[in-house]
Chain A
Amino acid sequence: MTTSRRTTLGLGAALAALALLAPVLPKWALFLVVVSLAKGLAALGLLVLMRTGLVSFGQGLYFAAGAYAAGLARDALHLGDGVLMVLAGGLTAALVAALLGLLLARYRAIFFAMLSLAFSMILYGLLVKTPALGSTDGFNVSAKSFFGLSPASGVGRYGIYGIAALSAFGAAVGVDRYLGSHLGRLAPAVRDNELRVEYMGASVRNVVHLNLVLAGALAGLGGAVTALAVGHIDPEMAYWTTSGEFVFVAILSGTASVAAPFAGALLLELLRSFAYEHAPNTWQLVMGASMLAVILFLPAGLWSVFARKRRAAR
């Protein structure tokens, strides 16, 4: 069995598990899963960038762009279905990434990281200063329907849960296929040796640009899902701490598998919830210590535990 087909089957099993769990999960757990999947989407985008050799400290920009686009899709364009709102979020973020990529694709390493951070802070500043979008308060977002069905009160969260699960599944399968394709294989090639990629006849800048758009679209989907789940959006989504959290998840997870960012995001949310409950004043300390532990003992991320086991079994 090819690794790609095994991954697809594994992801399908995860999707089925999410569907089976839905009726038994308490409300807070449903919310936690949705938020984890949304952050996992943004971290999956970072995985694509990290495979290309780039770390962006500005994915909050696309996350916020997706969230605001989802809100505006309903308010301005009357696209009130949750599915359409999420698609609008992903598409808008992809367009923003396509535009900014014209400049970003020329930079590497710390210059790329800082420029992406700068762009996200510009968006933050713009949102804060735009009264039409609610300035620092943002505005409320809700979907009129899910998959064309009008939700009875209290059932809407299952609609959001379904959209989050399907988006995450679709994105993970899509990214896995992409990374295994001829085009996707150019990502690690660019990371390893840009000169040689050019000497094999491909444009390094186009490869980087494409992966920027892909990462932007994924963060946009995540932002739109978050907007629906939380029911509110504000400029904090573009703030650098949001971007930092995605990098946190991406490093915690590692780049070994497309499932890793979702597992990492879920672990982060669980860890934060419990740390917050049991150590309300020092929960950041718990988070920092766990990050340190991962970097020291699992430098390739949490997923490397599975990879090691598989290698040992061979």
Chain B
Amino acid sequence: MSAILEAEGLTKAFGAVTAARDVNVSIDEDTVVGLIGGNGAGKTTFLNLVTGYQKPTHGTIRFFGRDITGMPPRRITRLGICRSFQIPQVFDSLTAYENLLVGLGIVVMGRKAFVGSHLGGGTPEEAADEMLERFHLARYRDELASVLPEGVRKLLDIAMALAVKPRILLLDEPTSGVSADEKFALMDLVLGAIRADKVTVLFVEHDMDIVRRYTQRILAFYDGKVIADGESASVLSNPEVRRLVVGEAAPEEEGLHAPG
């Protein structure tokens, strides 16, 4: 297994607040990694830095060994790093099908710019329908995104990120706003859909049962630092993690998220 994503000495300061302190992480290809931590611990900041939405104060980010620090989100997306959002970012005046077609159309138009992307021989229209099937969204195909229930918008948001054929997908709280008894079914669906393409997944999550069940590895954040990084069971039994993260892990909204 080779490293798909590496962060080295990643630091981000907003004035007096430091949202990331010397984060050093190396993610292996074809794994599922959980990001845990309390509110304001720096999980979403980490996603924002990796995807280029924010530029780090110090440090470098590498994707398959290539330095991507400071690139804008569209270039990073084209290289193969995509993300979904805690608050679904969809195109309200388009149908679910058209929402997927936006991304697939961009892939087709910029075939040269997207690294290693192809739609498996099919047309973007076929790929959009295939993606709707995969996320069990086919019956919402021709509904405007603005009238879809929040849970469906959430799935659509993730499907849109997967549609542009990433190598690694970063999910920001895929289960937030979903009732406790639906979370496992949702994660089964989402991870099943994503892992069918062997895409590496990094996801932010507050529910420790979800994290324990679906991840092979966990990064625990506290006060902008990674306080534990390793195999899931060992991180979850780490005394410091239990005290600082699990003990106070409340399923609340994270303070720093991408603007909606």
Chain A contact residues, CB within 8 Å of chain B:
181-183, 185-186, 188-189, 191-193, 195-203
| Given A185-B98, A192-B93, A202:B106 Cβ within 8 A | yes
A201 touches B102 (CB 8 A): no
- A201→B90 contact, CB < 8 A: no
List chain A residues, Cβ under 8 A from B131: none
Query: In the complex the two chains form, what is the Cα distance from A198 to B48 in whole Å?
Result: 13
In the bound complex, what is the Cα–Cα distance between A130 and B39 (angstroms)? 64
Q: In whole angstroms, how far apart are the Cα atoms of A189 and B102 in the complex?
A: 7
A197→B99 CA distance, assembly (Å): 10
Query: How many angstroms between the C-alpha atoms of A178 and B74 in the bound complex?
Result: 23
Cα-based distance from A201 to B73 in the complex (angstroms): 7
Which residue in chain B gives the minimum CB-CB distance to A201? B77
A residues in contact with B82, CB < 8 Å? 199
B151 on the interface (CB 8 Å rule)?
no
B94 within 8 A of A: yes
| B positions within 8 Å CB-CB of A | 51, 72-74, 77-78, 82-83, 89-94, 98, 101-110, 113-114, 124, 160-161, 164, 258-259
Are A198 and B105 in contact, CB atoms less than 8 angstroms apart?
Answer: no
Beyond A186-B105, A192-B91, A199-B161, 11 additional contacts (C-beta under 8 Å) are A188-B93, A189-B94, A191-B93, A193-B90, A193-B92, A196-B91, A200-B160, A201-B114, A202-B74, A202-B106, A202-B110
Is there an interface contact between A201 and B107, defined as CB atoms closer than 8 Å?
yes
Q: How far is the CB of A206 from chain B (nearest CB, A)?
A: 10
Task: Check B73 against A188 for contact (C-beta < 8 Å).
Answer: no
14 A-B contact pairs sorted by A residue (CB < 8 Å):
A182-B105, A182-B108, A182-B109, A183-B105, A183-B109, A185-B101, A196-B91, A196-B160, A198-B77, A200-B77, A200-B102, A201-B78, A201-B106, A202-B74
A298 to chain B minimum Cβ distance, whole angstroms, is: 18
Query: How close is B159's CB to chain A, nearest CB, in angstroms?
Result: 12
Contact A195 B94 (CB under 8 A): no
Residues from chain B with a CB closer than 8 A to the CB of A199 are 51, 73-74, 77, 82-83, 89, 161
Residues of A within 8 A of B102 (CB): 185-186, 189, 197, 200
Nearest A residue (CB) for B83: A199
Which residues of B sit under 8 angstroms from A197, Cβ to Cβ? 102
Chain B residues contacting A193 (CB-CB under 8 Å) are: 89-92
